Each structure stands twice: as C-alpha cells, then as structure tokens.
Amino acid sequence: MSSPIYVALDTPDLERARAIATRVRHHVGGIKLGLEFFAANGRSGVREMAELGLPIFLDLKLHDIPNTVAKAIMALRPLEPAILTVHASGGRAMLEDAKAAAPQGTKVVAVTMLTSLDDSDLAATGVAGSAHDQVIRLAELAKASGIDGIVCSGNEVAAAKKIWPKGFFVVPGVRPANGELADQKRTTTPRQALDAGASILVVGRPITQAEDPDHAARAIEATL
Ligand SMILES: O=c1ccn([C@@H]2O[C@H](COP(=O)(O)O)[C@@H](O)[C@H]2O)c(=O)[nH]1
C-alpha cells in the first residue's frame, strides 16, 4: 500500500523540488505542488515533476466566481492532477462548477479553514463560532455540492468524517512530536491525524527543511 504522506514542495526552484522528490520518493505517496511552485514554473513545471511517476496534488486553492474557477480548471485539465484544491468559502455553485470542470480522475477537495488560523483569527474575519464549527459547516456545504472531500486540520477530521463517512480528508499542519510549528496553529502529529480518519497527510517543512529529507520522511513514515 502506498504511503499516505504527500510531500509539499514549497519552492520556486524546479531543480530543488526535483532533487527533494527524488530523494524521498520511496517514502511518500505523492507530491504536492502549491502556489509558490506554480507561480514560478507553471504547467510545464508540473509536467516535469509528473515525470517522476508519483501522483500530483495541485494545491492552487482556487477561489473566485464560479465561471472563473471553472475556466481555470479547464486550463489545468491536461495536467490531470490526482488532487486539486478550491476554497469551500467560494460557495456551492463554485464548488459544483469546479467538480464539473475537473477531469474524471481528479479529486476536487475544498479547503475549509486554513490550518494557520485559529479561533481568534476566525473571529477577526467576523465569523462567529469556533474553528471546529466553521470546518463542519463548510464540510456540510462541500458534501452537498458533490465534490470529493475537504482539507482540514487533524483536530476536526473525526467530526467531519462522522457527517461524511465517504469523504476524502486531506490533513496538512501535521508535525512530528515536538516539531517546529512555524506558522501553523491547528496541528496534530501524523499518527493522530491518521487515527482520526485522514485520507492523506500533507507534510512540507518537516521533510523539505530537514538536513536529510529522506531520513525525515522515513522517520515520519515509521510512526504511522
Ligand atoms: O489549511 C491548509 C491548507 C494547505 N496547507 C498547505 O500544506 C503545506 C503545509 O506545509 P508545512 O511546511 O508542513 O507547514 C503547505 O504547502 C500549505 O500551503 C496548509 O498548510 N494548511
């Protein structure tokens, strides 16, 4: 069975992304490419990374009016990513149109509340209630729209799975015990996230900033 770990290659440097992916490829299940990589390297960069033979998670977190998101996804169709993200707060019509525009084999998953935010950040945006409430509200919306799943922290995944047993749950903000949190606020260990029901784990800096990324990926894998 392939590893649930997707390594987040957050760099504008294609050669660095390729070098890290090559080193960790036997201990991860896929590669996550986000805005930083895409802004620098575009579709051709994604194609080059796909040549490594691992599934590609294109984490562009699309968020705009339904027509714009659908057209952007159509432009991405030739890349056939395994997973593609949009923001749940874009609303039901946007989520429905995103799913309709995506290739058949692509899982469309909606970011609920970024793992870098906590209850007080949410309050500052004028939304009442806890991060947990907000994630569940947006998980319900995502489920009703017919997409494949959500992105949430390991703290909410068990509750989200209860209302959406067949959902696909992407969990970033995972840190090995005593790991550096950096800008992440809602975190769990990889083991806790999996036990709670995560489908895949997104791990970036704990692997990519390690002196030996391959060793770091193996060490995380050994805890699962
Ligand atoms: O809520 C979210 C959604 C996406 N991410 C992305 O995951 C990785 C996490 O990187 P780390 O270095 O392990 O913190 C990064 O690419 C984010 O864009 C997230 O963290 N939280």
Tens of pLDDT, residue by residue over 90-119, are 999 999 999 999 999 999 999 999 999 999
The Å distance, Cα 59 to ligand 1 centre, comes to 9
Quote the ligand 1 centre to 172 CA distance (angstroms): 5
> Could you tell me which residues are annotated as the binding site for substrate?
10, 32, 59-68, 115, 175, 184, 204-205
Please say whether the beta carbons of 164 and 139 come within 8 A: yes
Q: What is the pTM of this model?
A: 0.98
Residue nearest to ligand 1 atom 5, measured at CA: 172
Domains contained in the chain, CATH given:
5-223 (3.20.20.70)
- Give the CA dihedral 13, 212, 47, 184, nearest 10 degrees: -70
What would the pLDDT profile of 113-136 be if each residue is shown by its tens digit? 999 999 999 999 999 999 999 999
The residue whose C-alpha atom lies closest to atom 1 belonging to ligand 1 is 114
Q: Which of 64, 118, 121, 195 is catalytic?
A: 64
pLDDT of amino acid 99? 98
**Catalytic: 61?**
yes
Task: With a threshold of 0.85, tell me whether the complex ipTM lies above it.
Answer: yes
